[in-house]
Structure 1
């Protein structure tokens, strides 16, 4: 089971997403370009965000925990991320549904957030595999995942139906426990 807890480095805090984060999260999520590759634009209004928070972000705490990404220097919400699809039998989960506000993109935020999530997954939860998925055409996201050291596993064709009725091809990456010590060392050198 995923336990909601705060994870932190000197520059980033991941706090379990709460009602108190929603106002800042909604403001950070206003930029259209953040949602180009995401089927659900849940920050479009306070009402939509509240519904998403109640129905999606709080979905089954045995399988997921959603975090607000906090810039420790400013104490501002910079976006959100999650560990989800926890499979306790096969000791694996997915990290994703991450969005980071434009003001924090290409900064330290994503590196610190992913480091914290990976460290928690491998060292606290004892998982052996973490998966990342993104739209095949989302090259920015694919580059960010590859930069972490994740292994590209391939393109899964038409594996997700989109709101417009079309289908998305998904680029899938993974990091396994055997890879974690080297990836951890590299990430820590960047922190």
Structure 2
């Protein structure tokens, strides 16, 4: 089956719902992570101090999606009914059966909860099982050890590091650490992730 281009849709689990990101989510998102420097430390800029500043970030995500370069999701915490972060499919190459999960953040209150695990379970499952992707990649700043550990816990393989890959807002250079999961590795990873979010 040839791979398919991802489209905006809603994916629902037991703890989170991923739905198309819109400006309607702005208020919840600001409450979840606005003004928190630790949340935004690795996002390529300072924490937004006002809803307007966060709106500029959100519009950049939506503009990229509008150009067909990504698919953006709001992360809805089902218990509270609130948007607590966003995530995207990006770097999409259907002919090569690959995409990236990235530009992801969650409010700090949801770190080390089922939120990230179930988001990745939903996104990876859709990519491999519905879209027919053969490879999903994730990358992060070489200094972001928390993110690297979280990606490794998904079962993704660390592939290597692109040195001096991106300039940070403060002028220093980021090395990007790349991870990937392949279609034939997905069944085992799915079983482990599913077990982790059981009560």
* TM above 0.5: yes
Equivalent residue of 1:68, what SS?
Answer: strand
Moved over 4 A (4+): none
Task: Map 1:130-141 to 2 at 5 A.
Answer: 130-141=136-147
Quote how far apart the aligned CAs of 1:42 are: 6.4
Q: Which has the higher helix share?
A: 2
Q: Which residue of 1 aligns with 2:18?
A: 14
Unaligned runs of 5+ in 1: none
Match of 2:62 among 57, 61, 74: 57
Distance 1:85 1:59, change over 3 A: same
Quote how far apart the aligned CAs of 1:40 are: 3.0
Determine if contact 2:22/2:62 at 8 Å carries over to the other structure: no
Quote how far apart the aligned CAs of 1:107 are: 0.6
1:32 maps to 2:59: no
Determine if contact 1:25/1:43 at 8 Å carries over to the other structure: no
Quote how far apart the aligned CAs of 1:74 are: 1.2
Q: Which residue of 1 aligns with 2:108?
A: 102
Deviations 1:126-174 (A, max 9, x none): 1111111001011100000000000001121001122233210111100
TM-score, structure 2 normalization: 0.90
Q: Which residue of 2 aligns with 1:171?
A: 177
1:80 maps to 2:89: no
TM-score, structure 1 normalization: 0.94
Q: Which residue of 2 aligns with 1:46?
A: 51
Determine if contact 1:42/1:52 at 8 Å carries over to the other structure: no
Size of the aligned set, in residue pairs, is: 191
Unaligned runs of 5+ in 2: none
Distance 1:101 1:60, change over 3 A: closer
Which one is further off, 34-43 or 76-85? 34-43
Quote how far apart the aligned CAs of 1:118 are: 0.3
- RMSD of aligned residue pairs (Cα, Å): 1.5
